[in-house]
């Protein structure tokens, strides 16, 4: 019920907000060939925006663009950790659509396990993809957006995680990257808001996508929170674009719980065993639901 309530609130915010925050605008969405990014791209296009979909795999990306409609969606194959590709992304976007009004930093990377069991290069790649690349791309795009303030407000939305509110065991680099992304977004918002560019952060818990991976390898503490859908997160992203809200957590109650756990570490330690038991129970339920879905 918690996730449904948060999702309903985000959807209502999208429906009530004026379309001119999105209609006829141009948006760049990274990690857009599937999951959250594809859902964000579709919803932006449905609201009247042009969308540039960015991902590494051409086949899935082209299919995603075709599913939206090539008159509005442009696929751009790039690895966000390759910064020269990001410069080319801006050039190609402006060449096709003339402007950039919205940036959604959604591309992500995670490798679960004890940090000492993961190579240093892999840990560094998580930070580069999840934090350095959004910082680099936001800097490039913000300069362009500031030049357009007289024509409308620009918007940057970073997709972080509840793991950025309180660190998760066996996801050390991922937690660090998302905590850094939250901090970057909050600071950048204070700098850019007076210049007409709003910066928001969306922090979902577990999302039912391929990115979540094999449930057997997901920490119990992660699954202790209600699962949300890509559409739930996309609705929250659009609500941020339209309202300018600085941060949204999904589910909202989980975000409050994570904040309390961070502020009061003793409370987090006391609740941890309970949450792990809840996560283990949820894992069994989610696994049974997935198995039933495959059997249909």
Q: How confident is the model at residue 147 (pLDDT cuts 50, 70, 90)?
A: confident
Q: What does the pLDDT read at residue 14?
A: 39
- Once rounded to an integer, what is the mean pLDDT over residues 245-274? 92
Residue-level pLDDT at 296: 44
Domains of the chain (ranges plus CATH)?
2-295 (3.40.50.720)
CB-based burial, 63-90: b 16+ in 10 Å, e otherwise = ebbeebeeebbbbbbbebbeeebbeebb
pLDDT at 295: 56
**From CA 283, how far away is CA 170, in angstroms rounded?**
17
Structure letter (DSSP) for residue 55: E
CA–CA separation, 230 and 223 (whole Å): 16
Q: What is the pLDDT of residues 265-294, one digit of tens each?
A: 999 899 899 999 999 999 899 888 877 776
The more confidently predicted of residues 214 and 135 is 135
For the segment 149-176, what is each residue's pLDDT rounded down to a tens digit?
Answer: 655 579 999 999 999 999 999 999 999 9
Which pLDDT score is estimated for 7?
Answer: 46
Q: Are 165 and 145 in contact (CB under 8 A)?
A: no
Give catalytic residues, as residue numbers. Answer: 174
Quote the mean pLDDT of the chain.
90
Mean pLDDT, to the nearest integer, of 132-150? 90
- What are the DSSP E strand ranges found in the chain? 26-30, 50-55, 73-77, 102-105, 154-159, 197-204, 247-250
**Tens-place pLDDT, residues 42-83:** 999 999 999 999 999 999 999 999 999 999 999 999 999 999
């Amino acid at each position: 019920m918690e996730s449904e309530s948060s999702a309903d609130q985000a959807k209502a915010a999208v429906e009530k907000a004026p379309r001119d925050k999105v209609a006829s605008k141009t948006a760049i969405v990274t990690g857009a060939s599937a999951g959250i990014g594809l859902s964000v791209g579709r919803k932006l296009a449905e609201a009247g925006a042009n969308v540039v979909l960015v991902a590494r795999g051409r086949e899935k990306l082209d299919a995603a663009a075709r599913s939206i409609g090539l008159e509005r969606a442009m696929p751009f194959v790039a690895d966000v950790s390759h910064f020269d590709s990001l410069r080319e992304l801006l050039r190609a976007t402006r060449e096709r659509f003339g402007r950039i009004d919205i940036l959604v930093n959604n591309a992500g990377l995670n490798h679960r396990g004890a940090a000492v069991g993961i190579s240093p290069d892999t840990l560094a790649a998580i930070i580069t993809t999840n934090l350095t690349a959004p910082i680099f791309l936001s800097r490039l795009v913000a300069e362009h957006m500031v030049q357009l303030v007289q024509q409308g407000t620009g918007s940057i939305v970073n997709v972080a995680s509840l793991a950025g509110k309180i660190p998760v065991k066996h996801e050390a680099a991922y937690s660090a990257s998302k905590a850094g992304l939250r901090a970057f977004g909050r600071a950048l918002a204070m700098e850019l808001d007076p210049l007409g560019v709003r910066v928001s952060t969306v922090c979902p818990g577990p999302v039912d996508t391929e990115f979540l991976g094999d449930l057997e390898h997901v920490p119990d503490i992660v699954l202790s929170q209600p699962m949300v859908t890509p559409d739930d997160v996309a609705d929250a992203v659009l609500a941020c674009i339209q309202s300018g809200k600085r941060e949204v957590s999904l589910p909202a109650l989980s975000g409050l719980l994570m904040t309390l756990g961070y502020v009061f570490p003793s409370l987090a330690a006391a609740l941890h065993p309970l949450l792990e038991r809840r996560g283990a129970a949820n894992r069994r339920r989610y696994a049974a639901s997935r198995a039933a879905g495959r059997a249909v």
